[in-house]
Structure 1
């Protein structure tokens, strides 16, 4: 297990190198001079030249890339053109709101999706099963921005139950913090609830008629115990993969949700940086999101061995 973990950690290096190349090329190979785009049409040639030297844009593209990658491995993501603050500090300041939305959204997802899937499998020969399939497909197909606007109009404007904008740090009060996060978190959770519950339901249906479940029933074990102890446990392995991808996907989903609900997190930082053409911050945020994806995939792989003792990494 230790050797496997070390190998997986080492495999992150080439993955992140490829991601770094892609991020760098996307930002630096856009049409136009980045310094001119940042300063605007009325900027003087001297100001453009000065900014090019500041950003290292006067160097060959290969030199720029290796300088950037070298600084990244040192923990230096550069400085914001807009605020002159270190990019890493800006990202760390925005982590709290984003991770708060992700946490509440994931709690919503698991608390709703898992019981629904178990109940549908328990009542698998009733009308609940086709109704569940239709509802899960509908939930997974709803555009997040459209659903967010409906909730804002319904529960924020017409019936003002929840705030529709802003963020309160948890230090200022747990209930205020939670109150501001319920709507955006529920919007993010809606798509994931349909996906995870459908995956768990399919996995449980595959295991429900296996020989070991038939043996358990022949021993007189109650159906509810068979479902929870045998069927649910064995269906959890493929579902864990989906949950891991979901957690990483929530980080990408916050880009839209934070903009709609005016939450000062990583997503809104990315949108604001694109509008300002703050290239160092754009690079830093995209690289940060990629690192989160890679780390979560690693954790999911390691979690398999804990969920299923039969899995061994040689």
Structure 2
């Protein structure tokens, strides 16, 4: 187990290196001059050239890349060319709202998806099963931005129940924090509910008529206990894999949702930095998101051994 964990941690290095190369090339191939954007349209060519030299933007791209890579190795993601703040400090400053949004979204996702899947399996021989299949496919197909706009118009404008912009830290009050984040968190969660609920339902249906479940019923165990203690537990392993990918999807979805709801998180920081051609911040944020994705996949693999003791890594 320890050997496998070390091996997986070491495998992160080449993955992140490839990601850094791709991110750097995409960002630097994007048209636009950060120095010109910082100084404004009235700036002279001499002033723009001087700022480019100061920021190192006059160097060839490969020199800029290796300079940036050498900073990353030491834990320095660079400095914003727009605000002159360290990229790491900007990420830490903006990660709080994103973390809150993701945690609330995952909580809503689990609270909706797991009971729904269990109920559908219990009612698998009724008309509820095909209805669930249709609704889940519809939910997966809904674009996040479209659903967000509909909910804003419905519950923020027509029926002003929730605020449609802004963020209140949880330290200033749980009620206000929940009131501002519930609507965007619901948008993030509801798009992924269909995937998790469908996967859990399919995995449970594969186990519901296995020999061990038939034996449990023959022993007089109630159907409810069979579903929860035998079927549901075995169905968690494949569902956990999908949930790990869903977490990454939620993190990517925050880019859109934070922009629509004006939440000052990582997603909003990324969008603003793209508009400003703030290369170090864009590169740092994307690397940070990629690192979380890799870490989540590692944690999911390690979680398998807790869900099923028969699984061991050599």
TM-score (norm 2): 0.97
Per the TM alignment, residue 217 of structure 1 is displaced from its structure 2 partner at its CA by 1.2
Q: Deviations over 1:25-61 (max 9, x none)?
A: 1111224555445545543222222222233222232
Distance 2:201 2:126 in 1: 14
Q: Which residue of 2 aligns with 1:142?
A: 142
Distance 1:304 1:203 in 2: 15
Q: Deviations over 1:211-244 (max 9, x none)?
A: 1111111111111111111111111011001111
Distance 1:47 1:72 in 2: 29
Q: Which residue of 1 aligns with 2:80?
A: 80
CA contact (8 A) 1:188 1:253 kept: yes
Aligned residues: 314
Distance 1:69 1:125 in 2: 58
Alignment of 1:186-265 (within 5 A): 186-265=186-265
CA contact (8 A) 2:12 2:294 kept: yes
Q: Which residue of 2 aligns with 1:161?
A: 161
Alignment of 1:1-314 (within 5 A): 1-31=1-31, 33-36=33-36, 39-314=39-314
CA contact (8 A) 1:82 1:278 kept: yes
CA contact (8 A) 1:38 1:278 kept: no
1:79 is paired with a residue whose SS is: coil
Distance 2:62 2:260 in 1: 38
Distance 1:67 1:301 in 2: 34
Per the TM alignment, residue 62 of structure 1 is displaced from its structure 2 partner at its CA by 2.0
Q: Deviations over 1:61-100 (max 9, x none)?
A: 2221111111012121111111111111011100010011
Q: Deviations over 1:241-288 (max 9, x none)?
A: 111111111111011111111100011111111111211111111111
RMSD: 1.3
Distance 1:195 1:225 in 2: 25
CA contact (8 A) 2:204 2:232 kept: yes
1:118 is paired with a residue whose SS is: helix
Distance 1:175 1:23 in 2: 39
Distance 1:33 1:145 in 2: 29
CA contact (8 A) 1:28 1:34 kept: no
Q: After the TM superposition, which of the residue ranges 13-22 and 38-47 deviates more from structure 2? A: 38-47
Structure 1 residues 251 and 201, CA gap change in structure 2 (3 angstroms): same
1:195 is paired with a residue whose SS is: helix
CA contact (8 A) 2:91 2:266 kept: yes
2:295 is paired with a residue whose SS is: helix
Distance 1:54 1:201 in 2: 58
Distance 2:116 2:25 in 1: 44
